[in-house]
Structure 1
Amino acid sequence: MKILITISHLMTGGAQTFVIRLASALAKHHTVYVYNCNFFPIADNTLVDRFPDNVKVISFFPPSSPNLLNQALTKLERLIAKTGKKVKIREKLRKLHFQFILKQIKVDLINSHLYHADKFVVENIQVSTPVVVTDHGDYKYVIEQQLSDRSSTQKIFNRINGIVVLSEDNATAIAPYATSNLPIKKIYNGVALPQPQKTISGREKLKIPKDALVFGMVARGIQEKGWAELIQAFQQVLHATQREAHLILVGDSEYLRNLKASLNDMADKIHFVGYSADPNDWIECFDVGVLPTYFDGESLPYSIIEYLSFGKPAIATEIGGIPEMMIHNAQTAGFTIKTQAGKANVSSIAHAMLQYINNPALLNQHSQIAQQAFEKFNIENCVKSYELFFQQVLVHHRTSPDQK
Structure 2
Amino acid sequence: MKKNILLVGHSGDMYGASRSLIKLVKILEQNYTVHVILPEIGALFDNLTAIIPSQRILINEDLYIFTRKSFKIKYLISTLFRFLRNVISLIKIIQKFKIEIVHTNSGVVPAPALAAKLSGKKHIWHIREWFGDFKQFWPIYSGYITGLSDQVVCVSKTMAEQFKNSKNILAIYNGFEIPKVQTKATITDDLQNKLNNADLILGCTSRIRLIRKGQEYLIEAIGILTKKTGKNIQAVLIGDYVPGYESQKEYIHNLISKYDLEDQIHFLGHLKDPLPYYRLFDVFVLPSGEPEPFGGVIMEAMSMGLPVIGSNAGGTTEQIADGWNGYLFENQNADDLAQKLALFLDEKDKLKLFGSRSIQRIEENFSLEIHEGKVLRLYDEILK
TM-score range, shorter chain: 0.7 to 0.9
Distance 2:92 2:160 in 1: 34
How far apart in 2 are the matches of 1:286 and 1:203?
Answer: 16
Q: TM-score, normalised by structure 1?
A: 0.79
Asked if structure 2 preserves the Cα contact closer than 8 Å seen for 1:202 and 1:281, the reply is: no
Classify 1:147/1:107 alpha carbon distance in 2 versus 1 (closer, same or farther; 3 Å): farther
Name the structure 2 match of 1:15.
17
Size of the aligned set, in residue pairs, is 356
* Residues in 2 aligned to 1:148 and 1:105: alpha-carbon distance in whole angstroms: 34
Gaps of 5+ in 2: 64-73
Q: Deviations over 1:155-200 (max 9, x none)?
A: 3312211122222212222133x14xx3x43211122322123334
* 2:319 maps to amino acid: M
1:191 to 151, 156, 176: 176
**Paired amino acid for 2:134:** Q
CA 1:386–1:315 in 2, change beyond 3 Å: closer, same or farther? same
Q: 2:115 aligns with which of 124, 127, 131?
A: 124
User: In 2, are the aligned partners of 1:301 and 1:322 still within 8 Å (CA)?
Assistant: yes
Pair 193,259 (structure 1): closer, same or farther in 2 beyond 3 Å:
farther
Q: Does 1:133 align with 2:118?
A: no
- Relative to structure 1, is the Cα distance of residues 145 and 314 closer, same or farther in structure 2, using a 3 angstrom cutoff? same
Alignment of 1:22-61 (within 5 A): 22-36=24-38, 38=39, 45-55=42-52, 56-61=56-61
**Within the alignment, does 1:220 sit opposite 2:212 as a pair?**
no
Three-state SS of the structure 1 residue aligned to 2:126 is: strand
Separation of aligned partners in 1, 2:24 and 2:142: 25
Q: Please point out which of 88, 97, 103 is paired with 2:95.
A: 103
Q: How does 1:292-331 map to 2 (within 5 A)?
A: 292-296=287-291, 298-327=292-321
Superposition map of 1:348-359 within 5 A: 348-359=336-347
1:325-355 CA deviation, whole Å, 9 max, x = no partner? 112xx8631110112xxxx111111111111
Q: CA deviation at 1:149?
A: 5.3
Aligned to 1:394: 383
Cα shift readout 1:1-40 (whole Å, capped 9, x = no counterpart): 422111333345422221122223432443211222x3xx
Determine the structure 2 residue equivalent to 1:174: 163
Question: How far apart in 1 are the matches of 2:138 and 2:319?
Answer: 31
Contact 2:9 2:37 (8 Å CA) reproduced: yes
Question: Offset at 1:382?
Answer: 1.1
Between 1:361-370 and 1:222-231, the stretch displaced more is 361-370
* 1:278 counterpart = 2:269: no
Residue deviations 1:276-320 (CA, integer Å, cap 9, x gap) = 122212222211010111225x21011111111111111110111
In 1, Cα distance between the equivalents of 2:20 and 2:11? 13
The superposition leaves residues 102-160 of structure 1 with CA deviations (integer Å, 9 ceiling, x where unpaired) of: 1111122122122232x31222332221111122133x43xx52362534431331221
Deviation at 1:202, TM superposition (A): 4.9
Give the AA of the match of 1:250.
I
Change (3 A) 1:280 1:255: farther
Q: Is the 8 A contact 1:3 1:107 kept in 2?
A: yes
Provide the C-alpha distance between the structure 2 equivalents of 1:373 and 1:202, rounded to a whole number of angstroms.
Answer: 30
CA contact (8 A) 2:235 2:266 kept: yes
**Counterparts of 1:54 and 1:278, CA distance in 2:** 18
Identity of aligned residues (%): 21
The code of the aligned residue for 1:236 comes to I
Assess, with a 3 A threshold, how the Cα gap between structure 1 residues 21 and 293 changes in structure 2: closer, same or farther: same
Give yes or no for contact 2:184–2:277 (8 Å, CA) kept in 1: no
Contact 2:185 2:277 in 1 (8 A): no
Q: Which amino acid aligns with 2:175?
A: G
Q: Is the 8 A contact 2:125 2:145 kept in 1?
A: no
Taking the aligned partners of 2:29 and 2:190, their CA distance within structure 1 comes to: 36
Counterpart CA distance in 2 for 1:23 and 1:205 is 41
Q: Which amino acid aligns with 2:349?
A: A
Task: Give yes or no for contact 2:310–2:329 (8 Å, CA) kept in 1.
Answer: yes
Q: Structure 2 matches for 1:136-155, cutoff 5 A?
A: 136-138=128-130, 140-141=131-132, 145-146=134-135, 148=137, 150-155=139-144
Structure 2 CA distance for aligned equivalents of residues 52 and 383 of structure 1: 21
> Is the 2:226–2:233 Cα contact (8 Å) retained in structure 1?
yes
For residue 372 of structure 1, report the CA deviation from its aligned partner: 1.3
- In 1, Cα distance between the equivalents of 2:172 and 2:203? 27
Letter in 2 for 1:271: H
Q: CA deviation digits over 1:190-239, x for unaligned, max 9?
A: 22322123334558672144463210111122212111111011112222
The answer for the alignment partner of 1:398 in structure 2 is none
2-structure distance, mates of 1:191, 1:364: 21
Contact 1:21 1:191 in 2 (8 A): no
- Tell me, yes or no, if the aligned pair for 1:8 and 1:115 is still in contact at 8 Å: no
**Pair 1:335-2:327 in alignment:** yes
**Which is greater in Rg?**
1
Alpha-carbon spacing, 1:266–1:109, altered in 2? closer, same or farther (3 Å): same
Could you tell me how far apart the structure 2 residues matched to 1:205 and 1:382 are? 41
Instruction: Classify 1:316/1:86 alpha carbon distance in 2 versus 1 (closer, same or farther; 3 Å).
Output: closer
Aligned 8 A contact 1:203 1:209 in 2: no
1:384 pairs with 2:373: yes
Closer, same or farther: CA 2–364 of 1 in aligned 2, 3 Å? same
User: CA shift at 1:256, angstroms?
Assistant: 5.8
